[in-house]
Amino acid sequence: MNRKAILGTVIPVAAILLATLAFVVFEPIQVLPRIRLAPGFSLVDQNGDSLTSEDLRGSVTVYTFGYSQCGSACDRLNATVREIIDRLDEIEMGPDTEIRFVTISFDPDTDTPERLRSYARTIGADGDRWVLATARPGHVDNVVRAGFKTWFEKQDDGTFSFDPALVLVDGWGVVRGEYRYQTQTSDADRIVRHLDVLADEIRNAHGAAAVAYEAAHLFLCYP
């Protein structure tokens, strides 16, 4: 076996051993899973301005999905977002990372910026930390259904059936949490807890500790 082949075998093994050692030294560490890349998108927000996935790069973002005529079907989602916003002081995200909230409408034919603005006032979305937006007609499926893996379907009466999901995306555009089903723990409690876990990783995964965090991912140390 030549020298390159030997190094090619030894280096990965050494990296795994180093990661394991670092994990032992730095534990306990928990991380959120890296589920998949979130979709790229270009939306129009409640002020008529463009909102792209690149605009949110560097921010931790919680996404929800609905439409302005949603009524009671969206009440739980909107209440969850408001509760998380009210509890942001429980999370030490650090000065360089912002937590934002984006509700994407899958009804672009009806949800003009004016209508979204009116709806935003009723649910308390300020247009800054919590933004309402919609994809341009013809792109909603790519963003919501294909990109965020969130189902919706228009009914004959003009209303929508849909998956009442919340999706957590980190500042690198990676999906780190999906909340689609009720559990004994409320969605707000779970997301606040997971935001705190993600905040720890963002603040601390540098230098030697970065190896420990990678080991936590390797060993699936999820909350």
Query: pTM for the whole thing?
Result: 0.88
Please report whether residue 18 resides in a domain. no
Instruction: Write out pLDDT tens, residues 84-124.
Output: 999 999 999 988 899 999 999 999 999 999 999 999 999 99
Structure tokens at 159: 């209303």
Point out which residues pair with 66 in neighbouring strands: 105
Residue 72: inside a domain? yes
Q: Is residue 199 part of a domain?
A: yes
| Domain span holding position 91 | 33-203
Residue 15 lies in a domain: no
Query: Which two three-digit tokens encode residue 184?
Result: 């004994």
Whether residue 213 is contained in a domain is answered as: no
Q: In 3-state terms, the chain is what percent helix, strand and coil (to 5)?
A: 40, 20, 40
Q: State the CATH number of the domain containing residue 80.
A: 3.40.30.10
129 vs 183 pLDDT, higher one:
129
195 pLDDT above the threshold of 90: yes
Tell me whether residue 64 is in a domain. Answer: yes
11 pLDDT more than 70: no
CB-based contact 124:130 (threshold 8 Å): yes
- How many domains are contained in the chain? 1
